[in-house]
């Protein structure tokens, strides 16, 4: 490069000075970078809604945002933190005993007893992280979608079960189902305040408000649960929405 000379080997003090300048420049660059990160985090902390910030605590009050699924999974991994979020959100629950059946092991399980539209049947045994996701989904996805599309509240959620000691699709071999860990819920339909029932089997393809409602709760569920499978996925899910907090991230 024109105008630049490599320090002469006979003048080590010049080479040493050049190295010191290089190190100093790198340190200044790193300091400036971290300063910029700190400023951006400071601004985000005050300007961005908390549901989009992964370092903010999860609450059932906040709408679903970009960081909700990450925060739900993180809170669910800590039994005490999971229960604290449920309690702070007004969700009452009963502890379910740990159990082992064949190769199925259930631990850290609860049953939601009040604070949301009741699950029917009521004895849905779920891991705390699954219960937390269900409560968050009901409050911030299902109810807003019901008022937007159907102009009334959901007062009950029908399901086909949460815990079942089986493999995927009930096969004799293959991967273990998240149901075998009480880490899933199969939602069959919704009961409305006026007595109407919205059915996944009967209403999924409805072009009107019933179908729009079901697709909204599916799409919103994808921002809360790790895995959400609907009739769009395959024929085995024609009559329910499968929602779990333990499988691979998938929304269909």
**Which tokens go with 128?**
């705390």
184-192 and 154-161 as β-strands: parallel, antiparallel, unpaired?
A: antiparallel
- Residue 97 CB burial class (10 angstroms; 0-12, 13-18, ≥19): exposed
pTM: 0.81
Report the largest interatomic distance among the alpha carbons of the chain, rounded to a whole angstrom.
94
252 residues of the chain, pLDDT tens digit each: 455 454 555 556 665 666 776 776 676 666 555 545 444 545 445 568 888 898 999 999 999 999 999 999 898 889 999 999 999 999 999 999 888 887 788 889 999 999 999 999 999 999 999 999 999 999 999 999 999 999 999 999 999 999 999 888 877 777 889 999 999 999 999 999 999 999 999 999 999 999 999 999 999 999 999 999 999 999 999 999 999 998 789 999
Torsion, Cα 82 222 159 184, to 10 degrees, reads -50
How far apart are alpha carbons 180 and 249 in whole angstroms?
Answer: 18
Q: Which residues lie below 8 Å from residue 124, measured CB to CB, with a gap of 6+?
A: 111, 112, 159, 161, 162, 163, 185
């Amino acid at each position: 490069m024109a105008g630049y000379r490599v320090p002469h080997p006979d003048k080590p003090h010049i080479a040493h000075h050049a190295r010191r300048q290089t190190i100093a420049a790198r340190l200044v660059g790193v300091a400036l970078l971290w300063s910029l990160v700190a400023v951006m985090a400071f601004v985000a902390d005050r300007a961005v809604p908390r549901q989009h910030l992964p370092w903010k605590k999860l609450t059932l009050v906040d709408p679903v945002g970009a960081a909700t699924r990450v925060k739900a999974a993180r809170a669910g991994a800590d039994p005490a933190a999971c229960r604290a979020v449920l309690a702070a959100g007004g969700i009452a629950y009963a502890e379910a005993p740990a159990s082992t059946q064949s190769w199925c092991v259930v631990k850290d399980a609860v049953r939601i007893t009040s604070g949301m539209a009741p699950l029917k049947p009521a004895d849905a045994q779920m891991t705390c992280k699954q219960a937390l996701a269900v409560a968050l989904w009901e409050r911030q996805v299902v109810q807003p979608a019901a008022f937007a599309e159907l102009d009334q509240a959901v007062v009950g959620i029908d399901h086909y079960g949460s815990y079942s000691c089986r493999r995927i699709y009930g096969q004799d071999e293959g991967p273990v189902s998240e149901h075998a860990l009480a880490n899933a819920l199969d939602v069959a339909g919704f009961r409305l305040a006026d007595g109407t029932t919205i059915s996944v089997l009967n209403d999924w393809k409805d072009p009107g408000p019933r179908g729009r409602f079901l697709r909204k709760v599916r799409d919103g569920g994808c921002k809360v649960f790790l895995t959400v499978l609907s009739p769009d996925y395959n024929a085995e899910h024609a009559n329910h929405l499968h929602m779990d907090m333990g499988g691979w991230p998938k929304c269909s």
